[in-house]
């Protein structure tokens, strides 16, 4: 199946669903497209659902893809959540480590509801308003 990305309507964050066989060239182009959609949407949160993706992977591809994502999104979004396939858990853990080390607030999940809760949670450095 050919690789494709689609935007799912959501008022709170950019929600992208990916499907198909993902090769290294498509992966980099996909993140470029998501960055364009993010800018157009006005959102600062991204949920990427790639549970329907089959990866064609190699260690250098993983590193290049994660570095590219971090470079694109570290200053464009507040948080980036990935809902991944359990078959690619090791890949997603490595991807998360590379992204976080490069300044992107990125986290991978296996359950979409957990990813949404993390995206919409109050920032860690926010403080409750003082009682008067």
Assign 113 a pLDDT band (cuts: 50, 70, 90). Answer: very high
> Are 37 and 7 in contact, with CB atoms under 8 Å apart?
yes
Q: Residue 118: pLDDT above 70? A: yes
Q: Residue 121: pLDDT above 80? A: yes
Residue 29 C-alpha from the chain's centroid: 14
Give the DSSP H or E segment for 106.
strand 106-109
pTM for this one? 0.89
What residues are paired with 80 via a beta bridge? Answer: 46, 106
- Looking at residue 111, the DSSP 8-state letter turns out to be S
pLDDT digits (tens, 9 = 90+) for 27-62: 999 999 999 999 999 999 999 999 999 988 667 788
Assign 129 a pLDDT band (cuts: 50, 70, 90). Answer: very low
What percentage of the chain carries pLDDT values higher than 90? 81
The pLDDT of residue 25 = 85
Please give the full DSSP string across 38-102, using - where no structure is assigned.
HHHHT-SEEEEEEEEEEE---HHHHHHHHHHHHHHHTTT-SEEEEE--GGGHHHHHHHHHHHHHT
What residues are paired with 8 via a beta bridge? Answer: 15
The pLDDT of residue 21 = 93
Sorted by where each starts, the structural domains of the chain and their CATH numbers stand as: 4-120 (3.30.750.24)
The pLDDT of residue 56 = 82
The pLDDT of residue 124 = 60
């Amino acid at each position: 199946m050919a690789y494709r990305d689609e935007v799912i309507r959501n008022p709170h964050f950019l929600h992208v669903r990916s499907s198909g066989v993902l090769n290294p060239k498509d992966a980099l182009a996909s993140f470029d497209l998501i960055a364009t959609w993010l800018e157009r949407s006005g959102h600062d949160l991204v949920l990427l659902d790639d549970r329907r993706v089959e990866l064609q992977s190699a260690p250098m591809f993983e590193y290049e893809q994660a570095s590219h994502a971090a470079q694109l999104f570290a200053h464009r979004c507040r948080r980036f959540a990935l809902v991944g396939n359990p078959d690619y858990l090791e890949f997603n853990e490595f991807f998360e480590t590379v992204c976080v080390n490069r300044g992107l607030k990125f986290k991978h999940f296996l359950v979409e509801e957990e990813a949404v809760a993390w995206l919409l949670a109050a920032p860690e450095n926010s403080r409750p308003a003082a009682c008067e």
